[in-house]
Amino acid sequence: MWTLETVQKVAAVDPAVWRAILRLMVLARKVDEQIIKLCHQGRIHGSSFTGIGQEAISTAAAIASQPQDLFGPCIRNLALHLGRGETPLGIMRQVLARSEGATGGRDGNIHHGRLENGVYAMISHLGAMISVVAGGVMAKRRQGIQSVGVAFVGDGTTSTGDFHEALNFAAVFDIPILVIIENNHYAYSTPTTGQYRCRRLIDRAVGYGIDGISADGNNAAEMYVTVSEIMEDIRVNPRPVLLEAETMRMRGHGEHDNFKYVPEELLLLYRRRDPINLSVRAMASAKLMNAEEFAALETEIEAEVAAAARQALSEQEPAADTLLRGVYADA
């Protein structure tokens, strides 16, 4: 439930920021949809993992950030990669394992990042990225750089030992890191009722002696206001904060998963709460964008993404004799 204060803050979001938020969410959605298409056409090696329905969360963090900030993405943070400077073409090259992709054709659509964008390439071990980001921020601070870190985790990830160790470490050393739990109701096929017994995951924050805040992960304006306030606060008053963003995973764990275990009513509920549609409606009622302008934005982005896919498809996979590059130190 929004307080009057939240309503006022959301109403005060700059129209240019609103447009940037919407554009990034639509871009991420269209790139994800393109990935799904390529995956089902058999053009992607392995499975594909998307963030459809969760775009508002990564978008808020990317738009609220400063260049010196550091990020630990997980598997549903395409909007973060794009918001921090990765291009649709870069993503298409990555998922299609082309030589020019971020990992040079070494991985599929999740284990990638670009240090020049402040985005670490994730590793699969759930919870491990929190300490990586905490360490990176610690190093930057020792160099006198006012960096803030953001690590993204899922509800299932909160059950790992790494999650606990990293939060405790960050609390003890006052590391300015925002840990965002994207609570999307499922960890693979395990619903949150089979995952934890606390009422809200941020109830655990008190055990670490840190602040825990919750936000509606499908409400882009609320996410943006919440995340930017936390990031600016911990930038000058360094400490970790736990933020639980309630959302819904709108597809299977990956494209190999038909997610028949998710009740249809739950999906229906969140289809009505789609973050892009909610933003379009909010912007229309604030007279910031009308239906024709939104349709034009969608068409423009669809064309950009389709061109990126065509370009990447026309390129080569890495040559076989480069296979061991990056595995051993060059002699």
Q: Please report whether residue 217 would count as binding ligand TPP according to CB under 6 A.
A: no
> In the block, which residue shows the tokens 């950030």?
65
For residues 264-323, which are near ligand TPP according to CB under 6 A?
none
Does position 29 bind ligand TPP by CB under 6 A?
no
Q: Is 186 helix (H, G, I), strand (E, B) or coil?
A: strand
Q: Is the Cβ–Cβ distance between 207 and 271 less than 8 Å?
A: no
CB of 59 to ligand TPP, least distance (A): 16
d(CA 280, CA 302): 17
The shares of helix, strand and coil residues in the chain, as percent rounded to the nearest 5, are: 50, 10, 40
The 10 Å Cβ neighbour count of residue 45 is 15
Report in angstroms how near the CB of residue 221 gets to ligand TPP at its nearest: 23
On whether the CB atoms of residues 162 and 194 are closer than 8 A, the answer is: no
Contact between 117 and Mg ion by CB under 5 A: the answer reads no
Residues, the chain: 331
Binding residues among 229-268 for ligand TPP as defined by CB under 6 A: 249, 253
Contacts of 324 (CB under 8 A, 6+ apart): none
Q: Coil, strand or helix: which one is 241?
A: strand
> Per-residue string for binding with ligand TPP, 171-190, x by CB under 6 A?
-----------x-x-xxx--
Instruction: State which residue, 2 or 261, has the beta carbon closest to ligand TPP.
Output: 261
Q: What's the CA gap between 217 and 215, in Å, rounded?
A: 6
The count of residues interacting with Mg ion (CB under 5 A) is 4
Q: Per CB under 6 A, which region of 56-64, 89-97, 156-164, 166-174 contacts ligand TPP?
A: 156-164
Site for Mg ion in 128-157 (CB under 5 A): 154-155
Q: Is 86 in the site for ligand TPP (CB under 6 A)?
A: no
77 binds Mg ion (CB under 5 A): no
Question: Whose Cβ is closer to ligand TPP: residue 124's or residue 322's?
Answer: 124
Site string for ligand TPP, 105-134 (x = CB under 6 A): -------------------xxx--------
